[in-house]
């Protein structure tokens, strides 16, 4: 057992203690078979049942429509960056015979890295939005009308966004209606806000989410893809891709192969997958995403309100309408107090608050497993620290 921690780390993040306790038991002896969940074959009956159960629970939780398929791959978000580039370019070749250009909406460092990876693989990319280049720093999202007109279904293989920029604390409030309507496949990285709120999965063509924030341990990534895209990718030959100058997706990240083999083409980490399933089941038992969304909104409101009360003391670099509900980023206006802030927070049992090394300051991550009571403690501390040090 462990004390409930007030831990605000950006990822890997906390998981519910009861989930870990059940997982620990299953690591030793899964369903009485005398072997742990990580020791059985990924092609055994038991493993197949876990894969099916995880898929069914996430479908129920997120309301995944029949038009979409769920699958899992080893790796993380960074693996996702390259797998998206290769698979989506292949789908475009199937539709048009050409490689196409991948359009990226760069609102923080993770969407920037995703674009860099697609370019590194030799694909044509275009930053339709590049907030840092346009405004000198991240912290805002330009209005849709400013960039939507440049998107073309013939030219662009996909349009990519990172729904929640974990480092910079910028979150798309939703995928814009006009983006869904424009006909270019919409690809989104939901690594740090998946399951934090209700979304309409039907608006996305491809969702990619690393597990280590809201859904489990590092090492496994969930994908939700429109079936029509899978058919497109399957239909195109290696020769046709070579002729179009598109790199082949490595077999371990080739989406149709993963789906055709029920996510067990190669060895899926069963323990990690089982933890995902336990997280999904717990969320469903607690009332699903409507309940989680309400709780997350309250957590974010509590902390932002506390910080906003002291505008001369705290600096919040992100514009209000795109503030992340998951990663609250702030700095102190006065110099020389950063270490004191962290030390005093620690005395109160509040940890994981240091900002990303590229941004500095502080970041409080309010993922699903972080309790409302922990956020209230942090908000109280934020207020008292401002009062005592102003
Ligand atoms: N995308 C987002 C939004 C992330 O927050 C992260 C990592 N925190 C990544 C991608 C990269 O994930 P990984 O480290 O698992 O490759």
**pLDDT tens-digit readout, 214-245:** 999 999 999 999 999 999 999 999 999 999 99
| pLDDT tops 80 at residue 3 | no
Cα–Cα distance between 368 and 121 in angstroms, integer?
35
Active site residue 55: no
The reported pLDDT for the residue numbered 358 is 85
The reported pLDDT for the residue numbered 164 is 98
Ligand 1 atom having least distance to the Cα of 165:
3
Neighbours of 296 (CB within 10 A): 24
Please answer whether residues 81 and 144 qualify as being in contact, where contact means their C-beta atoms are separated by less than 8 angstroms: no
Neighbours of 358 (CB within 10 A): 8
- Once rounded to an integer, what is the mean pLDDT over residues 285-289? 98
Please answer whether residues 86 and 247 qualify as being in contact, where contact means their C-beta atoms are separated by less than 8 angstroms: yes
Q: What does the chain come to in residues? A: 390
- Once rounded to an integer, what is the mean pLDDT over residues 126-148? 97
Output the residue whose Cα is nearest ligand 1's atom 10.
Answer: 77
| pLDDT tops 80 at residue 204 | yes
Which member of 26, 130, 213, 299 is catalytic?
Answer: 213
| pLDDT tops 90 at residue 89 | yes
Query: In this predicted model, what pLDDT tens digit does every residue of 149-164 receive, in sequence order?
Result: 999 999 999 999 999 9
Pocket test for ligand 1, best of 191, 216, 324, 367 (most atoms within 8 A of CB): 191
The helix-helix angle for 270-285 and 45-62 (nearest 10°) equals 40
Q: Report the candidate in 170, 182, 112 with the shortest Cα–Cα distance to residue 141.
A: 170
Q: Report the candidate in 376, 375, 349 with the shortest Cα–Cα distance to residue 364.
A: 375
The reported pLDDT for the residue numbered 55 is 98
Cα–Cα distance between 355 and 360 in angstroms, integer?
5
* Cis peptide bond N-terminal to 353, omega within 30: no
CA distances from 63 to 26, 58, 192, 199, 329 (A): 28, 8, 19, 9, 31
Instruction: Please tell me the distance between residue 164's alpha carbon and the centre of ligand 1 in angstroms.
Output: 10
Cα–Cα distance between 234 and 87 in angstroms, integer?
10
Cα–Cα distance between 134 and 4 in angstroms, integer?
43
State the pLDDT confidence band at 357, using cuts at 50, 70 and 90: confident
Q: 255: which 2 tokens?
A: 């989406």
State the pLDDT confidence band at 5, using cuts at 50, 70 and 90: confident
The reported pLDDT for the residue numbered 97 is 95
Pocket test for ligand 1, best of 12, 77, 367 (most atoms within 8 A of CB): 77
Which member of 26, 55, 172, 189 is catalytic?
Answer: 189
Q: Give the global pTM.
A: 0.98
**Residue 116 phi, psi (nearest 5):** -60, -40
The 10 Å CB-count burial string (b at 16+, else e) for 186-217 is bbbbbbbbbbbbebebebbbbbbbbbbbbbbb
Instruction: Please tell me the distance between residue 210's alpha carbon and the centre of ligand 1 in angstroms.
Output: 7
- Once rounded to an integer, what is the mean pLDDT over residues 106-122? 98
The helix-helix angle for 109-120 and 77-96 (nearest 10°) equals 50
Cα–Cα distance between 371 and 18 in angstroms, integer?
14
Q: 266: which 2 tokens?
A: 């190669």
Rg (CA), the chain: 21
Distance of CA 111 to the CA centre of its chain: 11
Q: 194: which 2 tokens?
A: 């998946």
Please answer whether residues 43 and 385 qualify as being in contact, where contact means their C-beta atoms are separated by less than 8 angstroms: no
The reported pLDDT for the residue numbered 353 is 97
The reported pLDDT for the residue numbered 75 is 97
Active site residue 147: no
Lowest model confidence (mean pLDDT) among 42-46, 77-81, 313-317 = 42-46
Cα–Cα distance between 390 and 370 in angstroms, integer?
29
Active site residue 321: no
Which member of 26, 55, 110, 205 is catalytic?
Answer: 110
> Which residues surround ligand 1 with Cβ inside 6 Å?
11, 76-78, 110, 162, 166, 189, 191-192, 210, 218
Distance of CA 329 to the CA centre of its chain: 17
Query: In this predicted model, what pLDDT tens digit does every residue of 323-332 receive, in sequence order?
Result: 999 999 999 9
Supply the ipTM of this predicted assembly: 0.99
The reported pLDDT for the residue numbered 101 is 98
28 against 356, higher pLDDT: 28
């Amino acid at each position: 057992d462990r004390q409930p921690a007030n831990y605000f780390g950006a990822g890997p993040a906390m998981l519910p203690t009861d989930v870990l306790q059940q997982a620990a038991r299953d690591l030793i002896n899964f369903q009485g078979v005398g072997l742990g969940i990580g020791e059985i074959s990924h092609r055994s009956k038991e493993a197949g049942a876990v894969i099916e159960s995880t898929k069914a629970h996430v479908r129920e939780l997120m309301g995944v429509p029949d038009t979409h398929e769920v699958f899992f791959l080893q790796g993380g978000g960074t693996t996702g960056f390259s797998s998206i580039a290769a698979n989506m370019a292949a789908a475009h070749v199937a539709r048009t015979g050409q490689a196409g250009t991948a359009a990226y909406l760069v609102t923080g460092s993770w969407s920037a890295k995703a674009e860099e990876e697609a370019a590194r693989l030799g694909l044509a990319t275009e930053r339709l939005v590049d907030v840092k280049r346009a405004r000198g720093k991240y912290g805002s999202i330009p209005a849709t009308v400013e960039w939507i007109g440049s998107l073309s279904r013939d030219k662009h293989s996909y349009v990519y966004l990172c729904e929640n920029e974990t480092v910079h604390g910028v979150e798309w409030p939703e995928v814009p209606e006009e983006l869904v309507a424009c006909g270019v496949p919409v690809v989104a990285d939901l690594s740090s806000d998946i399951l934090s709120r209700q979304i309409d999965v039907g608006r996305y063509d491809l969702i990619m989410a690393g597990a280590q924030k809201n859904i489990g341990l590092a090492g496994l990534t969930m994908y939700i893809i429109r079936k029509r895209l899978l058919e497109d990718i399957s239909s195109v030959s290696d020769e046709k891709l070579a002729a179009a100058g598109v790199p082949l997706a490595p077999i371990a990240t080739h989406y149709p192969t993963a789906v055709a083999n029920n996510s067990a083409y190669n060895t899926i980490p069963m323990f990690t997958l089982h933890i995902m399933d336990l997280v999904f089941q717990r969320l469903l038992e607690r009332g699903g995403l409507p309940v989680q969304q309400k709780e997350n909104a309250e957590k974010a409101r509590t902390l932002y309100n506390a910080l906003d009360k002291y505008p001369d003391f705290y600096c919040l670099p992100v514009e209000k309408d795109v503030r992340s509900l998951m990663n609250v980023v702030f700095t102190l206006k006065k110099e020389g107090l950063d270490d004191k802030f962290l030390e005093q927070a620690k005395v109160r049992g509040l940890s994981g608050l240091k900002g990303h090394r590229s941004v500095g300051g502080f970041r409080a991550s309010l993922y699903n497993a972080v309790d409302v009571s922990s956020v209230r403690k942090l908000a109280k501390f934020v207020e008292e620290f401002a009062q005592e040090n102003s």
